[in-house]
Amino acid sequence: MSTSLCAQNTALRGLLDRHLSALARDEELAPERIRDALEAGTMVFLGNPAHAGLKPVLVGQPARVKVNANIGTSPLCNCPSTEERKIAAALEAGADTVMDLSIAGDLDAIRLGMLKACPAPLGTVPMYAVGQQILDAGRDISSMKPDDLFAEIEKQARQGVDFITVHCGLSRRGAAMAVKDNRVLGIVSRGGSMLARWMLENDRENPLLEYFDRLLDLCLPYNVTLSLGDGLRPGAGADAGDAAQWEEVINLGQLARHALSRGVQCMIEGPGHVPLNQVRSQIQGIKRLTGNAPLYVLGPLCCDSAPGYDHIAGAIGGALGVEAGVDFLCYLTPAEHLTLPDEADVRAGVMASRVAAQVGEVALGRPRAVAREAAMNAARKALDWDGMAKAALDPAQLAKRREDHKSEEVCAMCGKFCSVKMLRGH
């Protein structure tokens, strides 16, 4: 007989004792329904007790769809204070979580600063820190020692990181398939490409896969949720659904089940570039193969030719993805594929993903989303601008666009031609 998740995960049990009532109210779910979903692995509780000031988050059905904002330094754009301002911008725009993808500068100092500045769950990719040390020293990534990667994971867990992307399902077989099977864009995941090079150069299996139980032992004491990374996600629509992608998904499903049996929570990271006609089948296939574990999706981007507008392409795919079963949307910004996002890009990306989540949840008939639509419709009929602001996903944008004519009952598009006023009393 298997031991329950909470019985094995004392950190999670303690967090639930403190936060479950508030989370249940916020999600409008019964506490026992949340506990059942956590035990089944269809929901995760993002929260590390070492993260001071944390406001934990639930991800997975039937909780509200969540939105993540990626930030972080790069070798060409490295300003830690700017990244902390981006955290504020992301949270103000309504992001539920933040991920630090920094690859330049003092990564420990940056991470600790973000943990202090971010009450929302913070995620990282530990492979980046290990890779930075190797590449900045002028060495090849193939020289990495697996012990160094596990030591980095343990350190970040102690620091308070709430969830980590780890490319555990990327096998040597899958890496070879992606490199040799004429993929248009090969491997586009940074962490995935580093691990693939390490495996192919050393003719060894992925240490995160080979020593998966070691990873679980490091994460369990801190309730660090594994975001099982999609190192072989399609980086071009033409690569979507190939053998390499599905080989990894199958591995992720098996790993998620094993982790749950050991008391460690897992999310599954989903595809990147997927044509619109394949989004539904991709999402449903991934959910089936991974036991309905929470699915964390970048986009999906449903076209590849919209640089500068990838937040829109991602929101289109994201809305359909939510309707098909996605639980967690990772934003894309107008800077995607071009440069590091600034604060305005972060805000635009968060809002695009929040719109996608609302669209998808309305299609699913989720009560909170439907109620928001009803409140907006009633306010518009009454020309109640305060009511419209309360129902709006972005009240600040409504106020900004209306500022010049805020004393008018009608909007500046129609004026005295307002169709609502035209038929009042009839």
Residue 59's domain spans which residues?
5-364
Same domain, 277 and 375: no
Same domain, 185 and 115: yes
Query: 328 φ, ψ to 5°?
Result: -150, 120
pTM surpassing 0.85? yes
Same domain, 206 and 145: yes
pLDDT per residue as tens digits for the range 330-389: 999 999 999 999 999 999 999 999 999 999 999 999 999 999 999 999 999 999 999 999
What are the Cα distances from residue 386, in Å, to 223, 378, 383, 406, 424?
Answer: 42, 12, 9, 11, 20
Same domain, 264 and 374: no
State the alpha helices, DSSP H only, in 72-211. 80-93, 107-117, 126-136, 146-159, 172-180, 190-202, 207-210
Higher per-residue confidence, 148 vs 425: 148
How far is C-alpha 135 from the geometric centre of its chain's CA atoms? 27
What are the Cα distances from residue 100, in Å, to 11, 44, 120, 287?
Answer: 23, 20, 12, 26
Q: Residue 118 in 3-state DSSP?
A: coil
Cα distance from N-terminal residue to C-terminal residue, the chain: 68
Check residue 111 and give its pLDDT: 98
Check residue 423 and give its pLDDT: 87
pLDDT at 161 over 80: yes
pLDDT at 401 over 90: yes
Are 335 and 77 in contact, with CB atoms under 8 Å apart?
no
pLDDT at 64 over 70: yes
Same domain, 358 and 382: no
The residues facing 328 across adjacent strands are 66, 296
Per-residue confidence band for 1, with pLDDT thresholds at 50, 70 and 90? very low
Number of structural domains found in the chain: 2
Check residue 160 and give its pLDDT: 98
Q: What is the mean pLDDT of residues 63-73?
A: 98
Q: What is the mean pLDDT of residues 179-197?
A: 94
CATH (domain of 108): 3.20.20.540
Higher per-residue confidence, 214 vs 182: 214
pLDDT at 79 over 60: yes
Tokens of 312: 């829109």
Check residue 425 and give its pLDDT: 73
Same domain, 318 and 391: no
Same domain, 239 and 383: no
Same domain, 383 and 354: no
Check residue 2 and give its pLDDT: 62
What average pLDDT is seen over the chain? 96
Higher per-residue confidence, 426 vs 147: 147
Lowest mean pLDDT among 76-80, 245-249, 310-314, 390-394: 76-80
Q: What is the mean pLDDT of residues 200-224?
A: 98
pLDDT at 136 over 70: yes
